[in-house]
Amino acid sequence: MIDSRANSSYKKTSIGKIPEDWEVVKLKDVCTKITDGTHKTPKYLDKGIPFISTQNITPFKEDFDFSQYRKYISEEEHNELKKRCNPERDDILISKCGTIGRTKLIDVDYEFSIFVGLALLKLKKVINGNYLEQLLNTEIYKKIMEISSPGATRKTLTIRAIERLKIPFPSLPEQQKIAEILGTVDEAIEKVDKAIERTERLKKGLMQKLLTKGIPASRQYVVGSRQGKEDGRRYVVGGRQGKEKREFKDSEIGRIPKEWEVFKLKELVDVKGGKRLPKGDSLVDFETNYPYIRIVDFKNGSVDVSDVKYLLPETYRKIKKYTISSKDVYISIAGTIGLAGLIPPELDGANLTENAAKLNNLKKVMKEYLVIVLNSHILQNQINRFTGKATQPKLALFRIEKLKVLVPSEKEQQEIVEILSTVDKKIDMEKKRKEKLERIKKGLMQDLLTGRKRVKV
């Protein structure tokens, strides 16, 4: 519990004002050992002892993240490596390169080895590992570690810099209480993350069924689960009326409902490219009447308006033909290929990057339905076949025109859009809940880890 009474007096220190009864210590003072992983690339195996790198580190999450990077080494090599660096439960790992300063408390009991990109801190009993994980993951400490990392292009945090890092040092009971409060918020964030993951899996499954089998007869979809009833809401969306059995037919892209059709995209839309900035011209951060949409602005089937850049009037006049409206659909053709979505009304008439195409003059398809189809596994697989494994793949406009699209009746398109829109609303609600919790956590970290607010111990 946070103490609402007047705080104790403060003192000035080398790391700023802290409570009078706190100390300032260096990390080496609260560790029995600070080292890093092996500097040699080991021989990787299909199975064996996990070999952990910076990509596996996620603060405040149980276990390690193996979704993108999973390596193993032999038990013999691990036994040799752990003579110098033996990570164990309740030790601390800090990323030394890449995203510098990302810190994780080890919460697993199985053995593993680490690569040179990670530092290992073995803690003395005077410091709480959860407290240190929270402290080192604050923006200010990650910034300090980044500044302390030499290197022009590839910065690396040194062991010496870690040893010399100064931290605020409350009593052990206060450390434990601070960590407990912040950990409670982390647990709430973790629950919301799992709810988002469940709903996104549901959406993926629904898309696959709806875009191959259509709307089932007399079927309702319930978005959520027992855990999802905490807010007292149930998201229920319905299917076709009646109990008639649906008939299917073979098509060039698999079995589909009998009344559906398959069209090449060029039969449904006009495909037009965007335009690069004229040589010598550049974007500006301040708002003008001429927004310019880039690939980095594409987000969740729409555009993130928070960081949109703008054109000066003289630049706009040179490329004013290459605009996109809220009636059109965009699709990325370079960089991250295949992102499709709609332009929000407030950006209607914005200029479009050369790394994307606009699909306009739609016929037989709703724009919302077309976005769903383009982002589905059916069309993404087609796009992947077109782009292949090139180092810098690009989706040519003539290939976009050849994409094959499933087209149900306008009524069924609308029903599919409504079902998936309901799921999107659920996901959006959970993401907003997560953002609120993250704001609460950030405020608590600023207050508790600096001693501006004290906890009862």
pLDDT of residue 226: 42
Which tokens hold the place of 342?
């709609």
10 forms beta bridges with 19
Buried b (16+ CB within 10 A) or exposed e, 375-402: bbebbeebbeebbeeeeeeebeeebbbe
What's the mean pLDDT in 108-127? 97
Contact 108, 58 (CB under 8 A): no
67-108 per-position pLDDT tens digit = 989 999 999 999 999 999 999 999 999 999 989 999 999 999
- Residue 235 pLDDT > 50: no
* Nearest Cα to Cα of residue 8 among 425, 451, 332: 451
Angle at 87 between CA 81 and CA 88, to 5 degrees: 135
* Nearest Cα to Cα of residue 251 among 407, 429, 38: 407
Which tokens hold the place of 30?
């609260």
Instruction: Name the pLDDT band for 38 (thresholds 50, 70, 90).
Output: very high
- Residue 3 pLDDT > 80: no
Q: Long-range CB contacts (< 8 A, 24+ apart) of 64-70? A: 64/108, 64/112
**Percent of the chain surpassing pLDDT 90:** 84
pLDDT of residue 227: 42
φ and ψ of 203, to 5 deg? -60, -45
Query: What is the distance between the alpha carbons of residues 300 and 340, in angstroms, rounded to a whole number?
Result: 9
pLDDT of residue 154: 79
Topology given in CATH for the domain delimited by 173-259+409-457? Helix Hairpins (1.10.287)
Query: What is the distance between the alpha carbons of residues 367 and 375, in angstroms, rounded to a whole number?
Result: 12
Contact 35, 120 (CB under 8 A): yes
Query: What is the distance between the alpha carbons of residues 55 and 64, in angstroms, rounded to a whole number?
Result: 9
Buried b (16+ CB within 10 A) or exposed e, 119-135: bbbbbeeebbbbbbbbb
Length of the chain: 457
Q: Strands of 84-234 (E only): list them.
A: 92-95, 103-105, 113-114, 118-123, 166-169, 220-223
Topology given in CATH for the domain delimited by 261-407? Adenine-n6-DNA-methyltransferase TaqI; Chain A, domain 2 (3.90.220)
Which tokens hold the place of 240?
């076709």
Packing angle, helices 172-213 and 377-387, rounded to 10: 90
pLDDT of residue 155: 86
374-396 per-position pLDDT tens digit = 999 999 999 999 887 666 788 99
The answer to pTM > 0.85 is no
Domain with CATH 3.90.220.20 in the chain: 23-169, 261-407
What CATH number is given for 23-169 in this structure? 3.90.220.20
Instruction: Name the pLDDT band for 456 (thresholds 50, 70, 90).
Output: confident
Instruction: Name the pLDDT band for 457 (thresholds 50, 70, 90).
Output: confident
pLDDT of residue 2: 63
Q: Read out DSSP for 440-451?
A: HHHHHHHHHTTT
φ and ψ of 239, to 5 deg? -115, -160
AA letter at 269: V
423-450 per-position pLDDT tens digit = 999 999 999 999 999 999 999 999 999 9
Q: Mean pLDDT score of the chain, rounded to an integer? A: 91
179-214 per-position pLDDT tens digit = 999 999 999 999 999 999 999 999 999 999 999 999
What's the mean pLDDT in 125-153? 92
148-172 per-position pLDDT tens digit = 888 766 789 999 999 999 999 999 9
DSSP 3-state of 17: strand
361-372 per-position pLDDT tens digit = 999 999 999 999
267-288 per-position pLDDT tens digit = 999 999 999 999 999 999 999 9
Domain with CATH 1.10.287.1120 in the chain: 173-259+409-457
- Residue 40 pLDDT > 80: yes
- Residue 233 pLDDT > 60: no
pLDDT of residue 5: 46
Query: What is the distance between the alpha carbons of residues 103 and 303, in angstroms, rounded to a whole number?
Result: 32
Strand 118-123 versus strand 92-95 pairing type? antiparallel
296-328 per-position pLDDT tens digit = 999 989 999 988 999 999 999 999 999 999 999
Contact 379, 399 (CB under 8 A): no
